[in-house]
Structure 1
């Protein structure tokens, strides 16, 4: 597979929660995988120097574990993405799309409860227009525990129409998630080890396999 894959992670760990197993599977099949990290911790946003340094170390470790072809950190303020003009977001993302020339793109779910996710989706989806980004052949939304599961229920729920068997990649996905130790907490926290496995089992049951990840296909050109 000579494919270029781009995952738009609003915050580091979104890529692993949403499509980590699929990224590993695609890489095993020969695809080049690319990681766009939209936001960053900053002291202006209230994060300590130690927290910022720890996150940088986590990102470096995770990038190596995946074997990403490239990592693009846009550096927008975490938890304050709604304060950034949409045109500025689109311009920054567009540069990555033009450089990577992705064939498949993974985006956050448009109705995720976190405003950062909503604004990132709007900007990233603008970068999938075929007449400007002809390399893009498939666009999918992924589900992120603690964000997608808290979306408004009135017609805004995540209804997947694509499932990927990640039974062979699930153990590695969990190893990568454990690098982000500050993001995992004991059950019943949404991003507990138990909750992550439960979702993979549930999606696997729908797909007829042990573990699966699910997606909403927004566009596919064959």
Structure 2
């Protein structure tokens, strides 16, 4: 666990499933420890080209099922267009995420890695960090960036030093539940070698576990800690 004695966390997901890929085991562990955990979903597929209305209804049921599986203390949605966050004004995105941060007043934030290949992830990172500035959100004591299979590992920016974790969360005992929850997102999992497959989720957890001397782990970059 982080060195700080945190009481509440806000997990910010550009899309529903990012929270599970990046820190599903950590969410389960935090909840088991009595930490209040909230889930912020930034985007929606409702009204977005390429997503039929029946898929929108299915996604809403998936979110409800995942909410119950984790036992989130709150679920918040910005309802901004998926795959279109980079077309919005920065003020609009910062304002939407900042409103939730001020409502929840978490002492820790979990955010996507800045250089993920998906433009939505970069936009969410920038907005979350801006909204969490100390003078805006003095209650935020820690910010951690998570890695997302199929997004973090496919980043090819030549100026990106890569995801270099300095914090590992031992999720031994939580990995099976994480994978079970991920399977609730219809169409997001695929057969290996698809990166969002059970084999890949287990492989990454095993690799991070080996780095942390445990059976399974999730890795993070500590961006900020105030003690």
Is the pair's TM-score, using the shorter chain for normalization, greater than 0.5? yes
- Within 1, Cα distance between the matches of 2:31 and 2:83? 31
Q: Does 1:134 align with 2:135?
A: no
Cα offset for 1:219?
0.5
What SS does structure 2 have at the residue aligned with 1:111? coil
User: Secondary structure at the residue paired with 2:153?
Assistant: helix
Within 5 Å, give how 1:80-91 maps onto structure 2.
80-91=84-95
* Aligned residue runs from structure 1 range 87-166, under 5 A: 87-152=91-156, 154-156=158-160, 157-166=162-171
Tell me whether 1:6 sits opposite 2:13 in the alignment.
Answer: no
- Structure 1 gap segments, 5+ residues each: none
2:179 alignment counterpart: 174
**1:72 matched to 2:90:** no
What is the aligned partner in structure 1 of residue 214 from structure 2? Answer: 209
Q: Does 1:190 align with 2:222?
A: no
How far, CA to CA, are the matches of 2:123 and 2:143 in structure 1? 17
Conserved? CA contact 2:208–2:219, under 8 Å = yes
Please report how far the alpha carbon of residue 181 of structure 1 lies from its aligned counterpart in structure 2 after TM superposition: 2.8
User: 1:185-218 deviations in whole A, cap 9, x for unaligned?
Assistant: 1011110110111000000000000000000000
Aligned-partner Cα distance in 2 for 1:37–1:153? 26
Kindly provide the CA deviation profile for residues 95-139 of structure 1, in whole angstroms up to 9, marking residues without a partner as x.
101110011100000000001111111101112211211111110
Structure number having the greater helix percentage = 1
- Quote the RMSD (CA, aligned, Å): 1.1
CA contact (8 A) 2:11 2:38 kept: yes
| Counterparts of 1:93 and 1:51, CA distance in 2 | 25
Unaligned runs of 5+ in 2: none
Aligned residues between the structures: 222
TM-score, normalising length: structure 2: 0.95
- Look up the SS of the partner of 1:26 in the other structure: helix
Using the TM superposition, give the Cα deviation of residue 2 of structure 1 relative to its aligned residue in structure 2, in angstroms.
6.4
Matched position secondary structure for 1:147: coil
